[in-house]
Amino acid sequence: MAWDLVFSAEAGHGTAVAFITGIDGAATPDLENEQYVLNFDPSNDNAAIFRGVVPEGYASGSSTTVDIYWHASTATGSSVNWEVYFMRCQDVTTDISSTAQFNSTGVAISDTAHSTVKYAQAVSGTITNANMDAVAAGEEFLMLVVRDAAGDANTGITCLRAVKLSQT
């Protein structure tokens, strides 16, 4: 059964907690033309965290598509690396106070900034159930969005607008 789950930027918040090795700063909230976004720094690996519930139609045997919606604030035509990680919140099993629960492998999604700044952009990747920390339908989960600033070439702040998870 097809489903999608959309997280707009205001559904999450920046975090500097080292849920994943390499995080060294929190994404910061901002407004772009009255649209709420989360800003990711060009020189530090910033992160933002979201929380959701896996739809009942989720098929663990199929990959999940991860769409990142974003825009570049100042820098054009250069690579921007996004990474998305998941943590399963399993009923009476997961210690949600632990910072070491995210699956260490996520999905890396790279895009190239448009030739004009502040144009809406969307880019996709796919992730397996194992890399989604083996989440199951109906379970709560946490999602971490990271900019791999150390690995990309874009000199500007990048603005996360939304994230969509889906299966067809």
Partner 1 sequence: MAVLTDASRREIWAKWMRENEDPVSIVKSDLRAAFNALDDFMNTNATAVNNAIPEPAKSSLSTPQKARILMEVIRQRFVKGS
The contact set with partner 1 (CB under 8 A) reads: 41-44, 73-79, 117, 152-157
Residue 144 near residue 85 (C-beta atoms within 8 A): yes
Least distance to partner 1, CB of residue 79, Å: 8
For partner 1, the closer CB: 42 or 52 = 42
- The answer to whether 134 and 88 have CB atoms below 8 angstroms apart is yes
How many residues make up the chain in this entry?
168
| Minimum CB distance to partner 1 smaller for 8 or for 28 | 28
Say how far residue 45 (Cα) sits from the centre of its chain: 13
Choose between 79 and 124: whose C-beta lies nearer to partner 1: 79
Residues 6+ apart with CB under 8 A from 13: 26, 27, 29, 38, 48, 49
In the complex, what is the shortest distance from the CB of residue 84 to partner 1, in angstroms, rounded to a whole number? 22
Pick the closer one to partner 1 by CB: 12 or 156. 156
Q: Which residues pair with 30 in a beta bridge?
A: 37
Task: Report in angstroms how near the CB of residue 156 gets to partner 1 at its nearest.
Answer: 6
Provide CB contacts within 8 A for 14, sequence distance 6+: 25, 26, 27, 28, 29, 38, 46, 47, 48, 49
By beta-carbon proximity to partner 1, the closer residue of 71 and 88 is 71
Please, what is the minimum distance in Å from the beta carbon of residue 11 to partner 1?
Answer: 25
Minimum distance, C-beta of residue 48 to partner 1, in the bound complex (Å): 17
Residue 34: which residues within 8 A CB-CB, separation 6 or more?
Answer: none
